[in-house]
Amino acid sequence: MSVKLVKVKAEEVETVWRMQTEAFRGLLEKYHDYDISPAAEPLSNVQARFARPETTYWFIEAEGERVGVIRVIDRNDGSRKRISPLWIMEEYRGKGYAQAAMKAAEEIYGADNWCLDTILQEKGNIHLYEKMGYRQTGRVDRIKDGMDIVYYEK
């Protein structure tokens, strides 16, 4: 599966926010996590993260389309690089684009010393990250009944 990562420009941040809101809407409806869901956050939060020097947002392109986005946090100080968030638009899911995007990010930033987190109850996410070599750290944060955040490292 071939994807291309294309750096998001400042004038494209609103597009990222709109894509994020749409991509995470299903999880917001499922978990009603209005305080932390990417689907519920304001544009200003995405703009603030984009402005951070350690952050790079990348469009995930495949089939001649923007199929998703990955944000990589790299402080360039030896600390773990972080993926937060990564999403594939609903109509493009199940085609291997998330895995290909993670591999592409590893080609840019290096294949080890990564971390991320996800919803423990989202088995597809768990399967993807473990397939990509991530291992649970043992930290799990209860958000609410039926929703926990699990932490991974690679």
Does some domain include residue 120? no
Find the domain containing 87 and state its range. Answer: 4-112
Residues 54-65 have a mean pLDDT of 96
**Mean pLDDT for the stretch of residues 70-75:** 98
Q: How confident is the model over 49-62, as a mean pLDDT?
A: 98
How many other C-beta atoms are found inside a 10 Å radius of the C-beta of residue 152?
Answer: 21
- Give how many domains the chain has, as a whole number: 1
Residue 81 lies in a domain: yes
Who's near 125: CB < 8 A, 6+ residues apart? 118, 119
CB of 84 within 8 A of CB of 117? yes
CA pair distance 70, 60, nearest whole angstrom: 7
CATH of the domain at 85: 3.40.630.30
Domain-embedded: residue 108: yes
Residue 51 domain-assigned? yes
Q: Look at residue 47 and tell me if it is in a domain.
A: yes
Cβ atoms within 10 A of the Cβ of 107, count? 10
Task: Answer whether residue 1 shows pLDDT above 80.
Answer: no
